[in-house]
A = this chain, B = another copy of it.
């Protein structure tokens, strides 16, 4: 330990917060990448990347979906999804065709090969779960916690974006500041 000595600097609560901040944001970042790494190894057999697997999970539930809906499920925009879906299409797992009723929209649909892949994917979750060493209940609790966090963070981000405040001093606004748009 023994951090850098900042001359004329007492150890203020701010410094502690900075250290804590380092820890929580790093922890989440690291956990996400560690998860990614484990999935990478397991999904290699299926020829999928982790984000591609997430897309397939949604499609296995819904079969056909416009890109927009897919993006809402995964919180990803077309800038990410378009090239990803093109790769899935090149791999023969999905087909993309413009909707007849709304020419702006593109429907993503599983091919037979894409449907068939699901059978092989059924083994993935067990391998992941055993990698975590967590039980189903622990996983559920952690998930609930993370979802809380995501909801709060998204709301805060939307709020900040809405008026790009000078910096901090925003009123907490008590009630539901939530999603004015979308």
Contact = CB atoms under 8 A, between A and B. Distances in A.
Interface of A: 3-4, 6, 14-15, 17-35, 37-39, 41-42, 45, 50, 54, 57-58, 60-63, 74-75, 115, 118, 121-134, 136, 139-140, 142-143, 145-147, 149-150, 152-154, 156-157, 160-161, 164, 167-168, 177-179
Contacts of A37: 153-154, 157
Given A17-B122, A34-B154, 13 more contacts: A15-B122, A17-B129, A18-B118, A18-B124, A22-B54, A26-B57, A28-B35, A30-B147, A31-B147, A45-B167, A131-B157, A131-B160, A133-B156
Given A30-B150, A149-B34, A20 B54 contact: no
Nearest to A126: B17
A28 B24 contact: no
Contacts of A177: 130
A69 to B, nearest CB: 14
